[in-house]
Amino acid sequence: MKIGNNSDIGNAIAQVAAKQQQAKAPAPSAEAATKGASSAAAAGVPVTFSNAARGVDAAARGPAEFDAGKVKAVKAAIENGTFKVDADAVADKLLSNAEETFSRSRSRN
């Protein structure tokens, strides 16, 4: 049994947590950003981004895609004590993630 990427509750939770951390972090001042840019220009190091990197940046800035109705339903089920965890789905996802992590670490060595 596999968990589909579009219905992962974990993604929604991670996105909410990331937004909360961003809200807590102080935003850099415009003056600090300008100083950083001018020091990089003074160093003479050109920086370019690949199309793939630009695509990742654009995707990260896009609206978060999650089913608010499903999140609300899960939250209500947890509060009511009726939420059931599908142990097979959790185990499959853990194994899949572990396999992916190990394959990445092996390919780097």
H or E segment to which residue 85 belongs? none
DSSP string, 51-83: HHHHHHHHHHHSPP---HHHHHHHHHHHHHT--
pTM of this structure = 0.35
Contact 30, 93 (CB under 8 A): no
Question: What does the DSSP 8-state code read for residue 25?
Answer: S
Q: Summarize pLDDT for 1-39 with one digit per residue, the tens.
A: 455 544 456 666 666 666 766 766 655 555 555 555 555
CB distance 12 to 71 below 8 Å? yes
